Each structure stands twice: as structure tokens, then as C-alpha cells.
Structure 1
Amino acid sequence: MLQDKIDIISKDLANNKKLLEDKNTEYGCLIVKKANTWVEDAKKRPIPNMLFSELWYEKEVCILFADTNLGKSILAVQIGDSISRGAPIPGFKLESKPKKVLYLDFELSDKQFENRYSENYQNHYQFSSNFLRAEINTELNIPKEYKGIEDYLCNTLDATIKNTKTSILIVDNLTFLSSENEKAKDALVLMKTLKKLSRKENLSILVLAHTPKRDESKPINKNDVAGSKMLMNFCDSSFAIGISSEESSLRYIKQIKQRNTEHLYHSENVIVCSIEKEKNFLEFQFVEYGSEKKHLKSYGASDLEVRDEQMKFLVSEGKSNVHIAEMLSLTEGAIRKRRNKLGL
């Protein structure tokens, strides 16, 4: 009898010891577990579904970037509409059931939004009740404890997400939230906030961002997004929109960063689309897969000569490289290199 009790106690102690060994150990900001424990914990959570083909998955913070007026907002609303309905965009994949989408629109007024999704303000497109749109209350008095509208928004966004039971957040766009987002510190604070919110609320987030003026003869890469280094470090995935030199209505979508999949939509396999409005919904329509090189701008000898003459004139006027770059739709680096080559 005594031996049986001793055996039971020993077994309990061994089990307790194993439980203690398997428990998380925290060292400051780190949570340390055995590799097998991490795997076992991860197995209990569902496999992330595609929200927009292999470009954006559930629970990811994803960045969509492009130059001004290339259709970022058009595509973002189309993606949000697709997820809210649980219906894939033709030519793209969607593995998720209908989800509640919150679209933070800091770009368009309600009237501009109405115009995009109607036929001359008639015959309006009917969005799903799962699709919510929000814009800033311009008459709001910001509480004194907040530094500004960006700070107030970041600190109250969590409550908005909970109250609306949102699963998908689309932020249009990053420039509004951080007026100096090209600076690393501003990008870092914003991306940390969104990353934390994503993990805390199991939220999938798509953030729209602008690119500075870029050379359209060069392939798009991660350095083209404003505040690129920090933004790319803190996002899970990213894709970009480029304009086609072949036709003004054509755009191409290129995968820039991915974690849940292989790199599929690279320079030799971009997704070519056209922007169309057949009825009351402005949208991207899939055309084909193709090579990015085919859509890049090319400069002939006469084009370069004209541009060089324009540059010489602007230099003689005392314009800075930044100003010249803006006027010629090039990067400051491209202007600097060309000036060095021409001895200007």
C-alpha cells in the first residue's frame, strides 16, 4: 500500500515537472518554448486562407503601393468588396468565407465614392452589408491627451475594430496616417501599431502607400515605396501596381514580398489588368500574365536628347535635383547620375 502511494506521488511529480518544462518561459520581451511546442501550438490554429490570390493571406499585414492615380484605391475597394461577399475577383483566388470589412477612406469624399460606384450618380452599385466604409470626422475636437488626428486614430482604432466586429481592415492610405512616413521613425511607429492590432484582434490588414517619383523604365522593387526599409521589415507581404507603357488603361500587379507562399508574380510573371467601368463599378479586370519588361517605358535617343535639354535649362534656372526630378517625373538619383554623366 505504501509503495503504491509512493509510486502515485512520483508519477504526479514527474507529470508536474513535464508540465513546467513545457510551459512558456519569458525572458524580458521574449517567449521561449521548445521548437516542437511551437509547432504543436501552431497546429491548433487554422491554415491562413488566401484573400487576394497568393498576394495577401489572412492574418497578414500587407502593403499595396503605387504611384499616384494608378488605381490603388480602385483595386483596394474591389478586394474589400470581394472579401465581404465571399466571391473571388475573376482571375484571382479567394479561399475565405464572407467577412466583415472596414475600409478607412482618407482619399475620397462620399460624393466621389458615390460617383465611382454608380452610373452618373444613378443606378448605384449595391455593396454587401459586410462592407463598412469610414472617413474622418472633420468637425471633431481632438481630446487634449492626443498629439493629433493620427495619434487619436491609432489609439482608438482597437475599439472601433471590436465594436464593428471587423475581420478585415483596409487603410487608404498611409500618407494620411503619417504625413512624414518617409522617415524611418514614423513608419516604424505606424507599422508597429498595425502589427500589434493584427495579432491582438486576429485582423487581416491591407495598407495602401504611395511611391515617390520613380523611373518608369526600371522594374518596381521594394525600395520604391516611401519609407521602404522599415515598412518592408514590419509587413508580412507586399505587392505593387505599375502602369503599362503599351496602353494607358493597362496596369500590372507585381509581388514584392511574401511569407506564406513562393514568389509567384515576379518580373517574368506579372498580372496584367485593365481598368474598366462597364456599368456602375470601377474595377480591375484580369487580362493575362506577362513580363514586366514588356510594360516598362523605353527611351529612344531623341527622347533622351529632349530630356537632357530640359534638364540643362532647369539647371541653368538654378533648380535643385529634387525639383527637376519632380518636373521630369524621374527620381532624384536618376537626375543626379545624369547630371554627373553630362558634367552639369
Structure 2
Amino acid sequence: MTFTQPPLIEEIRAEVQATTHRQRMQNSMRTQLRRNPDNDLFKIKTADQWLNDDYGKPVARKLIGSLWHEHELCILFADTNLGKSILAVQIGSGLAKQTMMEPFGSQVNEALKVLYIDFELSSAQFRARYTHREYGLHHFGDHFIRAEFNPAGSNPLLYEQYDAYVRDNIESAIKNTKAQVLIIDNITCIGSQTGNTTGALPLMNNLKAIKAKYKLSVLVLAHTPKRNVYRPITVNDLQGSKMLINFADSAFAIGQSHIQPGVRYLKQIKQRNTANDYGGDNVCLFVIKQDVSFLNLEFLGYDQEINHLQKPGIGISEEHKLQIAELSRQGLTKKQIADNLKISIATVKRYN
């Protein structure tokens, strides 16, 4: 026995199918009408159009010598306790006040609105760095704006990932402050997996999109894993380097002198708009100094990086001796201390 659908059922089914098809067509047409080419993933022009469109536009200005140019995404990286945050605040303050640290010049002729997002220091720690017992607080001015992470911030119920919640709040802060310069201290706090390609790719894409959308100059701080102190600093010393460096327009790093106690050196790692002025043959030497109520890096001169690397068979620096003593007090074995500081067990035994 063959069962056939009642005519009414067939008519309803046909009407539903037709309605669904019409809706798909209507939605497609609405999408085409609403489509804005400026929002497409790719901007497509002939090579000649690209050249003509950019012809006559002003060249990107230097923000801090050849290290970082206007509208670039730049990375500053170093090991812990070498002065990354001190340098970043010094750079931001200089851009906000139209003053710049020696020996770097700037081509910016106006004070820029700087947003410094600080994931590292509490307000009390920040105040301690920029306060003098006799002369009081340092004055940064209205163009230097600091944002601090709020542990009691609203629960991101609408977000599947906390990283996205943080990045959306960064964008909101940019809009609210009308910032021209964004400094993030540090990058590991806005991306939970910056040490691998999976985590670094969306993070850097997002930062580049924000930079382009708001015409920002962006400086992000990053850590290095414990590096080999006998070798020069390279892109491989940046945590998650292969992806982070590829997406960055420029990068520079701070190293520790193992010959002169307390001395740091600054080395240019990547640049696109200029020559490498501060490579291994011409690093800039600095010492951290409290200038009244302003903690900063004071320029000492130039040198070759090789002169400040740890030399095999030569005694280690005073800072390394203190680190050995501290790690020993924490209960680490001699092998663990050696692995942590990238030195030999024999060296650890000699100073412990």
C-alpha cells in the first residue's frame, strides 16, 4: 500500500521551501547592498594605484630616534629587572611633554596623548618610583595617561575568552582617552599564549587592527626567557619570537652588561623604515638613575655588544653573584641555579 501526503501538507511544505529560498535571496541582496569595501579583509588595488595613493604623504616621523617610528607596532623586550618599564615610562613621558631622552632625537613637534596600560605595577609601586622624599611627586602632565588593571572589574559574561574581554577594554580605553600613542606593559597579560604561534597570531592581528583603526603608534613590552649570556641578543631571545617579531614593524631590546656592574645596553633588533643605527657594533649604554623624583635611564655612551657579554672562564658580574645567593636562599640546587642563570655548575659552586 502506497502512502501519499494529503495535498494540504504538500502545499505547506512547498510554501516553506519557497519562503526559505526567498529569505536567503533577500538576505544575500541586503548583504550586497550593505557591503562596505573598507571593511573587507583585503584592500585590493593595482601596484600603480598603491604608489600613487601614497605619493606625497608625509614620511613616518621618528618617535625615539630610529628605534620606533610613528604608526608602527614596536616591541621592547628584555629579561626581568633590567628596566623595561622604566624605559617605557621615560619614552611615553617624553612624547607627552615633547622632550626626549639622550641620545635619541624625535621628529614630532607636538605633545602626543599617551595611554600607558600598566599590568605590572600597583599604584603604590608606581608612586614609589616617581616620588622624592624632599621634592614630592613627579609631574607627568595631562598628556600622559596611566591605566591600571582592576581585579574587581566586571565579570566578562558575554565573552568566551578572557583575552578578548581584555582587548575590547583596551580599545574602549583608546576611544575614551583619544590616545595617539599606546604603550602596553606587558604583552603576556593580554594574550595567555604569546609563547606559541597559536596564541601570538590572533593577538598580533588584533593589535595591528587597533593600530590601523585609530592611527596609533604602539609599543608593547615583552619578556625574554632566561637567555644565554655568552651570546648577543637576537630575535630568538623574545618569548614567542617567530610570530611576534614577524608581525612587529620594529623591535629593540635591553641587555645587561656583565663587565660593568649596573650598566644596561640597548640594541636595535628589527627596523623597516630606517637603517640599523644601534646594532651589535653600536649599542647604547645606560645606567638606571633617580633624577630627583623621576626614575630613568641615563645615557653613558656607545660600545660594541661583544664587550659586555659574559666571557667564558672570566668571573661573573656582581648582579649574577647576588642572583646566585638569592636562588640558593630559595632552596634551588646548584644545577637548577646554573640552568636558571645559563651558567656552569662550576661557576655556581665557585660563588656559593
**What does residue 124 of structure 2 align with?**
111
**What does residue 199 of structure 2 align with?**
186
Give aligned-pair identity as a percent: 43
Task: Tell me, yes or no, if the aligned pair for 1:250 and 1:274 is still in contact at 8 Å.
Answer: yes
**What does residue 82 of structure 2 align with?**
70
**What does residue 138 of structure 2 align with?**
125
**Of the candidates 55, 76, 82, which is equivalent to residue 67 of structure 2?**
55
**What does residue 14 of structure 1 align with?**
none
1:275 maps to amino acid: I
Secondary structure (helix, strand or coil) at the match of 2:132 reads: coil
**Of the candidates 206, 231, 255, which is equivalent to residue 242 of structure 1?**
255
For 2:337 and 2:161, locate their aligned partners in 1 and report how far apart those are by CA, in whole Å: 33
The number of aligned residues is: 295
Q: Tell me the CA shift for residue 29 of structure 1.
A: 4.1
Q: Tell me the CA shift for residue 121 of structure 1.
A: 8.3
2:270 is equivalent to residue 253 of structure 1: no
For 2:43 and 2:304, locate their aligned partners in 1 and report how far apart those are by CA, in whole Å: 44
**Of the candidates 319, 326, 330, which is equivalent to residue 342 of structure 2?**
330
2:151 is equivalent to residue 145 of structure 1: no
Please list the CA deviations of residues 122-152 of structure 1 after superposition, one character each: whole Å capped at 9, or x if unmatched: 5111002100000111111222122454321
**What does residue 233 of structure 1 align with?**
246
Task: Tell me, yes or no, if the aligned pair for 1:184 and 1:227 is still in contact at 8 Å.
Answer: yes
Task: Tell me, yes or no, if the aligned pair for 1:142 and 1:152 is still in contact at 8 Å.
Answer: no
Q: Tell me the CA shift for residue 114 of structure 1.
A: 0.6
Task: Tell me, yes or no, if the aligned pair for 2:135 and 2:292 is still in contact at 8 Å.
Answer: no
**What does residue 167 of structure 1 align with?**
180
For 2:167 and 2:292, locate their aligned partners in 1 and report how far apart those are by CA, in whole Å: 37
Secondary structure (helix, strand or coil) at the match of 1:82 reads: helix
Change (3 A) 1:232 1:119: same
Task: Tell me, yes or no, if the aligned pair for 1:118 and 1:124 is still in contact at 8 Å.
Answer: yes
Q: Tell me the CA shift for residue 302 of structure 1.
A: 8.1
Q: Tell me the CA shift for residue 94 of structure 1.
A: 1.2
Q: Tell me the CA shift for residue 37 of structure 1.
A: 1.7
Alignment of 1:23-102 (within 5 A): 29-96=41-108, 97-102=110-115
**What does residue 289 of structure 2 align with?**
276
For 2:194 and 2:188, locate their aligned partners in 1 and report how far apart those are by CA, in whole Å: 6
- The range that moved more, 167-176 or 147-156, is 147-156
1:155 maps to amino acid: D
1:64 maps to amino acid: L
Q: Tell me the CA shift for residue 119 of structure 1.
A: 1.1
Question: What root-mean-square deviation, in Å, do the aligned CA atoms of Structure 1 and Structure 2 show?
Answer: 2.7
2:236 maps to amino acid: N
For 1:189 and 1:121, locate their aligned partners in 2 and report how far apart those are by CA, in whole Å: 47
Please list the CA deviations of residues 241-284 of structure 1 after superposition, one character each: whole Å capped at 9, or x if unmatched: 00111222211110000000011111101111111113111101
Report which of the two structures shows the higher radius of gyration computed on alpha carbons: 2
Task: Structure 1: state its 5+ residue gaps.
Answer: 1-24, 304-309, 311-318, 336-344
Please list the CA deviations of residues 32-71 of structure 1 after superposition, one character each: whole Å capped at 9, or x if unmatched: 3232221221135322111111000000000000000000
For 1:32 and 1:140, locate their aligned partners in 2 and report how far apart those are by CA, in whole Å: 41
Segments of 4+ moved more than 6 angstroms: none
- The range that moved more, 90-99 or 234-243, is 90-99
TM-score between both structures, scaled by the size of structure 2: 0.78
Task: Tell me, yes or no, if the aligned pair for 1:251 and 1:273 is still in contact at 8 Å.
Answer: yes
Q: Tell me the CA shift for residue 101 of structure 1.
A: 0.2
TM-score between both structures, scaled by the size of structure 1: 0.79
Task: Tell me, yes or no, if the aligned pair for 1:53 and 1:94 is still in contact at 8 Å.
Answer: yes
- The range that moved more, 197-206 or 273-282, is 273-282
